[in-house]
Amino acid sequence: MFKKFLALPVMLIAILVFTQSAPAEPEIKRTGKECDKTQKKDCDKKSKKDCDKKGGERHSRGDYKRGKGGFNILMIADKIGLSADQVESIKGIKSSHGKAQIMTNAEIDVLKIELKELSHDYSTNIKVYARKVREIEAKKSDEKIASFKLRKDISALMTPEQRTKIKEYYMKKYKK
């Protein structure tokens, strides 16, 4: 019995000693000049993202594709020559689309919760479950169609010269 009580504090001390680690080193961002071919092999995944052949931080086009950076035509309105009426029309279209998108996302979230409830109920018929999955996918499809319609509506407001300027601007901006 006494050995058990003695072993417990010894184990706790051993755990405390072994779990203490050295202080973390600050992360160093590397540039292309510092990351030559031999160093790139040694770089971990995180620092490889920071390395760039041109010597600066790499900017991903993936954010644009996921909508985090996004295509905001109003930011370049003066560069492509949009009139005040066009800007106001685009703001209205984007505002109504944003509201509709929030509503659609909320409906999708509610449907996902209902689907989860159905999946936890073992007496649920497969046809009911399949119908709910199809309903969710239909809402997602409607959302994609609405995004495409938004781009078409904005494009319809512009002149052919303005559309060409947009293409040139973004081709130059995202050129590798």
User: Has residue 94 been placed in a domain?
Assistant: yes
- DSSP-derived letter for residue 34 is T
User: Has residue 62 been placed in a domain?
Assistant: no
Q: Which sign does the torsion angle of CA 156, 70, 101, 108 carry?
A: positive
This model's pTM is above 0.95: no
C-beta neighbour count of 124 within 10 angstroms: 14
CB 139 within 8 A of CB 104: yes
User: Has residue 46 been placed in a domain?
Assistant: no
CB 136 within 8 A of CB 108: yes
Distance CA 12, CA 102 (A): 52
User: Has residue 73 been placed in a domain?
Assistant: no
Please give the radius of gyration of the chain, using alpha carbons only, rounded to the nearest integer. Answer: 28
C-beta neighbour count of 80 within 10 angstroms: 19
Q: How many domains does the chain have?
A: 1
Would you give per-residue pLDDT tens digits along the chain (176 residues)?
A: 555 555 556 655 656 555 555 454 555 555 554 444 444 444 444 444 444 444 444 444 444 444 444 568 888 888 889 999 999 999 999 999 999 999 999 999 999 999 999 999 888 899 999 999 999 999 999 999 999 999 999 999 999 999 999 888 888 887 75
What do you get for the CA distance between the two ends of the chain, in Å?
Answer: 72
C-beta neighbour count of 118 within 10 angstroms: 16
CA atoms within 13 A on the CB side of 17: 6
User: Has residue 155 been placed in a domain?
Assistant: yes
User: Has residue 19 been placed in a domain?
Assistant: no
Domain hosting residue 151, numbered range: 84-173
User: Has residue 107 been placed in a domain?
Assistant: yes
Of 61, 87, 64, 62, the C-alpha closest to 76 is: 87
